[in-house]
Chains A and B, each alone.
Chain A
Amino acid sequence: MIKDIAMIGKKSTVIDPTRNLRQRKLTQNIAFTFIWLAGLLAVAALLFIIYYVIKNGMQVIDLEFLTTRPAGGVSGKGGISTTIVTTIYLVILTITIAAPLGIGTAIYMVEYTSDLSGKKGFLGWLVNTIRTSVEVLAGVPSIIFGLFGFAVFVSYLKLKFSLLSAGLSGACLVLPLIIRTTEEALLTVPKSYREGSLALGTTKWQMIFDVVLPSAIPGIITGIVLSVGRVIAETAIFWVTLGGSYRLPQNLLSSGRTMALHVYMLASETRAFEKALGTSAILIVVIIALNLAINISSRQFAKKFSGK
């Protein structure tokens, strides 16, 4: 028993250690229970959504669903063949435009100018501006990219509602993602690789191309896969730049519909909710596959560099 002698006149606080500990343990158990519940709730929400979509969507998926095109209009009849193909086209187009630009920028930032940020002069200013621009781009909401794409590509450049406008707008969206992941990948390549190569007499570009890049490829591919997932999941941008035609795009200047857009149109225009869920199910499966691929590859990547 601990008595505070200086406070004789006041009511003395007596702490019973055992009871106190029991109280605190009780509080902890209650708190931890709540926390576990919270975590389970979050995961349960995810699982419920996936379960609902896949269970209800699976019923409509068959060969006909996958190889016939949407019938358009309000009937909601038909399949989703053209949307699958359009999505693939758009993904390839967007990555083709964004990947060289993004990887090039990251190479420039890491290899050529990493010692320059903060320095005075034109190049120092350039590097800082590039860095700020990438950060700004990363924070822009997708509808603004859509707005931008509509103003510049569809209206001003008269590209109309087409794969090209959508691809260019989508490329702006994923550019920061590719730049960031490539930068990270390049930074994990040990300096010794670079120094060894230069010591052997290669030029800087040869060193980058033949030594650094191959080691960084897994990280770069992760970035590209993440961008693919982003493009597949994106709707707002393509709603405004791609148009909504249900037919197959004949060339880069045709309009089309991606799967995510098709889900939106099915849900709002027709009452074919099961088909919307079916398309969503396919989308979710693709995203799960992409996530798995990233997880597995990043684990292998980490292993490769730690078990050196």
Chain B
Amino acid sequence: MKSKVLVLIAVMLAAALFFAACQPAAPAAEEAAPAEEAAPAEEAAPAEEAAALSGQLQLAGSTTVQPLAEELAAEFMAANPEVSIDIQGGGSSVGVTSAGEGTVDIGNASREIKDSELEQFPNLQIFTIAYDGIAVIVNPGVELAAGLTKDQVQAIFAGEITNFSEVGGSDAPITVVSREEGSGTRGAFEELVMEYKDEAGEKQIKPIVESALLQQSNGQVMTVVSTTPNTIAYVSFGFLDDSVTAVAIDGIEPTVENVKNGTYAIFRPLNMLINGAPSELAQAFLDYILSDGQTLVAEDYITVE
């Protein structure tokens, strides 16, 4: 008898897990009535109070937005303990696609949304929560006292300049590190730095050299550049730290002040995307970000003004 029961437990366990897990919190059942009556009691769960927010939000997308969103979410969750916000990365295009398809509640993107994407997801709503600069970084072992010009940066990333000696550094071949194609940081970098005019006067974008090491997030870029000699890459301002050297472009240092006063031109909007009308919880979160949250934004990024 025991073994019979034991084996069938395995079958029941699946149903049990599904049962137990599809409710966010398990209400304790009364033991007065026999067991079956516990089920309708669970069904009649008390309605949410209008005052406290509760629920789950899933965000995904840009790895640039990710740490900022995580900080904002932590503050929001501290103020609303019943709320749970999960954030993942993947790149800005993940944010657009996931938001558009409804795989997540809010998508994060660190670039402008393309017309083709708006065609694909016509109900996509765009909320800009901050502006962020893109810095060109090199491994600390690389000496570039005079910084680089924008043309030099373009040539390096296009593979036309292949040795640091050509731009005032030591004799070392350049290892270019870039982001995956779905990256908003990459997209913004390409639009702002790799753009040139061809013979017909049309705007074209120089493709980044094929042999570039491709990383999937700002974090990965930082890891590679800080530990691999003779590397150059681009990264979001929010990720800069002492493990890499930020390069001055045309003499302008990559700082938040320089973006604000307009001298440093390589920056882009950080967007949150929602398909259709935002849910109550999502709207509350957005409202928070665009009001009190801006103080958090101001620490490393540029606020929405």
Direct contact of A and B (CB under 8 A): yes
Give the B-binding residues of A (Cβ under 8 A).
72-74, 92-93, 96-97, 99-100, 103, 154-155, 158, 160-161, 163, 209-210, 213-214, 243-245, 247, 250-255, 267-271
Give the distance to chain A from B108, nearest Cβ to Cβ, in Å.
13
Distance, CA A214 to CA B215, complexed state (A): 52
Give the distance to chain A from B16, nearest Cβ to Cβ, in Å.
9
Partner among A163, A251, A267, A271 whose Cβ is within 8 Å of the Cβ of B23: A251
Check if A74 sits within 8 Å of B67, measured CB to CB: yes
- Residue of B3, B11, B21 with most partner-chain A CB within 10 A: B21
Check if B86 sits within 8 Å of A247, measured CB to CB: yes
9 A-B pairs besides A74-B239, A213-B3 with CB distance below 8 A are: A93-B17, A96-B14, A154-B103, A158-B103, A245-B88, A268-B219, A269-B217, A269-B219, A269-B220
Distance, CA A209 to CA B104, complexed state (A): 45
Check if B70 sits within 8 Å of A73, measured CB to CB: yes
Distance, CA A251 to CA B102, complexed state (A): 19
Contacts of B128 in A (CB 8 A): none
Contacts of B222 in A (CB 8 A): 74, 271
Closest B residue to A99 using CB positions: B10
Contacts of B13 in A (CB 8 A): 96
Check if B3 sits within 8 Å of A251, measured CB to CB: no
Distance, CA A213 to CA B4, complexed state (A): 10
Distance, CA A210 to CA B222, complexed state (A): 60
Whether B227 sits at the interface, judged by CB under 8 Å, is: yes
Give the distance to chain A from B21, nearest Cβ to Cβ, in Å.
4
Distance, CA A250 to CA B56, complexed state (A): 9
Check if B17 sits within 8 Å of A252, measured CB to CB: yes
Whether B89 sits at the interface, judged by CB under 8 Å, is: yes
Distance, CA A160 to CA B104, complexed state (A): 7
Contacts of B104 in A (CB 8 A): 160-161
Check if B88 sits within 8 Å of A244, measured CB to CB: yes
A-contact 0/1 string along B204-222, CB 8 Å cutoff: 0000000000011111101
Whether B7 sits at the interface, judged by CB under 8 Å, is: yes
Partner among B22, B23, B87 whose Cβ is within 8 Å of the Cβ of A245: B87
Partner among A74, A210, A253 whose Cβ is within 8 Å of the Cβ of B218: A74
Check if B58 sits within 8 Å of A252, measured CB to CB: no
Whether B163 sits at the interface, judged by CB under 8 Å, is: no
Check if A268 sits within 8 Å of B60, measured CB to CB: no
Give the A-binding residues of B (Cβ under 8 A).
3-4, 7, 10-11, 13-14, 17-18, 21-24, 56, 58, 60, 66-67, 70, 84, 86-89, 101-104, 215-220, 222-223, 226-227, 239, 243
Check if B84 sits within 8 Å of A161, measured CB to CB: no
Distance, CA A100 to CA B227, complexed state (A): 48
Check if B84 sits within 8 Å of A247, measured CB to CB: yes
Distance, CA A92 to CA B9, complexed state (A): 13
Distance, CA A99 to CA B13, complexed state (A): 11
Give the distance to chain A from B58, nearest Cβ to Cβ, in Å.
6
Partner among B14, B58, B215, B218 whose Cβ is within 8 Å of the Cβ of A255: B58
Partner among A100, A209, A244, A254 whose Cβ is within 8 Å of the Cβ of B56: A254
Give the distance to chain A from B236, nearest Cβ to Cβ, in Å.
11
Closest A residue to B84 using CB positions: A250
Check if B84 sits within 8 Å of A254, measured CB to CB: yes
Contacts of B226 in A (CB 8 A): 271
Instruction: Tell whether A209 pairs with B23 under 8 Å between CB atoms, given A73-B70, A96-B17, A158-B102.
Output: no
Q: Which A-B residue pairs are the 9 nearest by beta carbons?
A: A269-B219, A252-B21, A245-B86, A73-B67, A251-B21, A74-B219, A268-B220, A244-B88, A243-B88
Distance, CA A267 to CA B102, complexed state (A): 30
Contacts of A163 in B (CB 8 A): 21
Closest B residue to A242 using CB positions: B88
Check if A271 sits within 8 Å of B103, measured CB to CB: no
Distance, CA A268 to CA B228, complexed state (A): 13
Partner among B88, B103, B219 whose Cβ is within 8 Å of the Cβ of A155: B103
Instruction: Tell whether A255 pairs with B217 under 8 Å between CB atoms, given A73-B70, A96-B10, A161-B60.
Output: no
Closest A residue to B215 using CB positions: A268
Give the distance to chain B from A221, nearest Cβ to Cβ, in Å.
12
Give the distance to chain A from B57, nearest Cβ to Cβ, in Å.
11
Contacts of A214 in B (CB 8 A): 3
Distance, CA A171 to CA B70, complexed state (A): 31
Partner among B4, B87, B216, B219 whose Cβ is within 8 Å of the Cβ of A270: B219
Check if B4 sits within 8 Å of A209, measured CB to CB: yes
Partner among A213, A251, A271 whose Cβ is within 8 Å of the Cβ of B227: A271
Closest B residue to A211 using CB positions: B3
Give the distance to chain B from A26, nearest Cβ to Cβ, in Å.
48
Contacts of B70 in A (CB 8 A): 72-73
Contacts of B219 in A (CB 8 A): 73-74, 268-270
Check if B223 sits within 8 Å of A255, measured CB to CB: no
Check if B218 sits within 8 Å of A161, measured CB to CB: no
